[in-house]
Amino acid sequence: MNRRTFLEVGALSSALFVSGASARAGRLANDEIAIACLGTGGRCRWLMERLAKIEGTRLVAVCDVYNEALAQGAKLADAKALQESDYQKLLDRSDVDAVLIGSPDHWHVPMTVDACNAGKDVYVEKPLTHSIKEGERVIAAQNDNSRIVQVGTQHRSMPHLNEARDIVRSGGIGEVYKVRMTWNRGSRRWKRWDYGIQSSDVDWKAFLGSAPDQPFDQYKMENWRFFWDFGGGIFTDLMVHWLDTAYWFLDMQDPSTAASIGDQFASKGLWETPDTVQTLLHYPDDKLQAHFEGTFVNWRDRAMIEFMGSEATLYCDRGRYEVIPEHKSKAEARSRVDGDGAKGADFYNKVDGAQYHLQNWVDCMRSRETPNCPAEAGVRSAKGAHLANKSLRENAIARPNS
């Protein structure tokens, strides 16, 4: 079924969470789920704080190759939680049911595959993959081992975005031919900070993993998202959230081409990836174009997505949506505001998408139902971001199979 046919079928119900009372063979509702946390840097610890609020879960182990991150993660886990620098030792344990992965991007697929093969369920931060070629491998590991894998694009679990999706799928804004996405931040990070990280406190070889051998660098370690060996910059760190939202709303296929530009205006000499980017993704099978712009030098428009339909435009961010009808359109003007932050804010004060998303993961570990963002969805959204980076780095129009 293509996207146009899908829209004509009408609105589908938006089940945010799958009940643990599902009849499939899963964990009982009162069974405790023992979770090991891999890569306990800042993002992982932020997720650990939310996971600890979910009834029936225990954070029984932590793992990091940096001693300080390991110690900080241990403070958020059980009092007697295991502490390891080698994640394989935790996967070998029969008393670990699942893993939370917050490592740098280049470790996402290796850790996820190893965890699935060890019989563990997985919550893994986005982007799921560090390259297009990793996609088939991680999907196979999930499916061959019948594992619950939730990728951390949490928009799929946010109530207001589920409602907004139903508006689009029911034809409430007409035919959508263009999607506009932004993620802009005004940063003041433009110096090479001394983080006080000593090489003696880091297993640098383990941090590198599949990355090329290179000297220890505390700046790269703290800012890995902006170095190609470990991350993918703005496209894979930020755009991937909205791209995943668009795929989820519109049931889109892969783009046929990507045309990107970017530059280092403020970050020159610090980052490898640009601090300012744009890309245009073409989806001819869906009669659709998607445009993204992102920067770290200005806050204008912040983080938002607009679905530009023939009858209305749907604006969404992490705390609200608005339907803005076209001139003389019969579309209904409506809105919903769940958050109390500024319009377009990265993080609203009251809409905690990660909390919803983690809850969905836990519920699905009990029911064995498919979570809101399984590996297949994570691979697809990451593929679009990788294609945008391919165009950027080659300074040419990129195609999936080129």
Domain boundaries of the chain, sorted by first residue? 15-155, 157-209+216-348+374-394
Give the 3-state secondary structure percentages of the chain, helix then strand then coil, rounded to 5. Answer: 35, 20, 45
Write out pLDDT tens, residues 261-284. 999 999 999 999 999 999 999 999
pLDDT score of 5 more than 70: no
pLDDT score of 182 more than 90: yes
C-alpha triplet 262, 264, 266: angle, nearest 5°: 135
pLDDT score of 1 more than 50: no
Among residues 80, 196, 205, the alpha carbon closest in space to that of 62 is found at 80
Of all residues in the chain, what percent carry a pLDDT higher than 70?
92
Of all residues in the chain, what percent carry a pLDDT higher than 90?
86
Say whether domain 157-209+216-348+374-394 belongs to CATH 3.30.360.10: yes
Write out pLDDT tens, residues 29-81. 568 999 999 999 999 999 999 999 999 999 999 999 999 999 999 999 999 99
Write out pLDDT tens, residues 200-247. 999 999 999 999 999 999 999 999 999 999 999 999 999 999 999 999
Q: Is 348 left (phi over 0), alpha (psi -120 to 50) or beta?
A: beta
pLDDT tier at 20 (50, 70, 90 boundaries)? Answer: very low
pLDDT score of 168 more than 60: yes
pLDDT score of 19 more than 70: no
* Torsions phi, psi for 298 (to 5 deg): -160, 145
Other C-beta atoms lying within 10 Å of the C-beta of residue 254? 16
DSSP output for 106-155: GGHHHHHHHHHHTT-EEEEPSPS-SSGGGHHHHHHHHHHTT--EEES-GG
Q: Which fold has domain 15-155?
A: Rossmann fold (3.40.50)
pLDDT score of 6 more than 70: no
pLDDT at 4: 46
Among residues 322, 311, 281, the alpha carbon closest in space to that of 175 is found at 311
Q: Which amino acid is at 350?
A: K
Domains 15-155 and 157-209+216-348+374-394 belong to one CATH topology: no
Sign of CA dihedral 16, 22, 27, 30: positive
Name the average pLDDT for the chain. 93
Residue with the bigger pLDDT between 265 and 14: it is 265
pLDDT at 38: 99
pLDDT score of 311 more than 90: yes
Write out pLDDT tens, residues 96-141. 999 999 999 999 999 999 999 999 999 999 999 999 999 999 999 9
pLDDT at 29: 57
pLDDT at 346: 80
Using DSSP's 3-state secondary structure scheme, residue 258 falls into strand
pLDDT at 209: 98
For 390-398, what is the mean pLDDT? 98
pLDDT at 30: 60
How many angstroms separate the CA atoms of 147 and 368, rounded? 8
Q: Which amino acid is at 145?
A: N
